[in-house]
Amino acid sequence: MKFGFSYTGLIFLIMLFVPNFFWTKNKPENYDEYAKNENKILLAFERAGEVAVSCLLLIFSSFNPQGLSPWLLWLAGAFLLMLLYEIFWIRYFRSDKTMKDFYSSILGIPVAGATLPVCAVLLIAVYGKNPFLFAAGIILGIGHIGIHLAHKKEIKDG
């Protein structure tokens, strides 16, 4: 692990935040009703994970490519997951923008809008050999994926 600016982390965060910015203007109908019922513990995990992941991705230069090695497969896997994440968003923005659309899967990956970026964070952490980012990714995953799964269950039960 090396301290320093990570342009890889910045690219990753841009890929993460840009669709979310557009989503704020294209939320599914009744989303706020579901958000009111979110588990406060999961929400705390999600928020803590978001802050930690965002900061950690930027302050370790070890996330930047370090030459050709088999380790690059971890980074390539992370960016492949983020490309799937972008495809998820394109599909969502072209849809009717329902709750079902928002919590859909892609290639069998459940609640893809939450699962893909969390898994990508974990792969970047492995690539950068950074246990702090890995732990932050687990915390984020517990909260973010947990909330999305709960909403998806509410949709089915509702």
> For residue range 109-134, what is the model confidence (pLDDT) as tens digits?
999 999 999 999 999 999 999 999 99
Residue-level pLDDT at 33: 86
Residue-level pLDDT at 156: 79
Under a CB-based contact definition with an 8 Å cutoff, are residues 147 and 111 in contact?
no
Label residue 157 by pLDDT band (50, 70, 90): confident
Domains in the chain, number: 1
List the domain range (segments joined by +) for residue 78: 7-157
d(CA 17, CA 102): 16
Tokens found for residue 123: 């792969």
Per-residue pLDDT reduced to its tens digit, 4-48: 999 999 999 999 999 999 999 999 988 988 888 899 999 999 999
Q: Can you give the length of the chain in residues?
A: 158
Does the pLDDT at position 99 exceed 70? yes
Residue-level pLDDT at 66: 86
Of 86, 75, 67, 62, which is closest to residue 120 (Cα–Cα)?
A: 75
Under a CB-based contact definition with an 8 Å cutoff, are residues 111 and 149 in contact?
yes
Whether 2 is in a domain gets the answer no
Whether 98 is in a domain gets the answer yes
Query: What's the mean per-residue pLDDT of the chain?
Result: 95
Whether 1 is in a domain gets the answer no
Residue-level pLDDT at 72: 96
Of 12, 11, 1, 10, which is closest to residue 116 (Cα–Cα)?
A: 12
Whether 111 is in a domain gets the answer yes
d(CA 116, CA 86): 10
Whether 75 is in a domain gets the answer yes
Residue-level pLDDT at 158: 57
Whether 23 is in a domain gets the answer yes
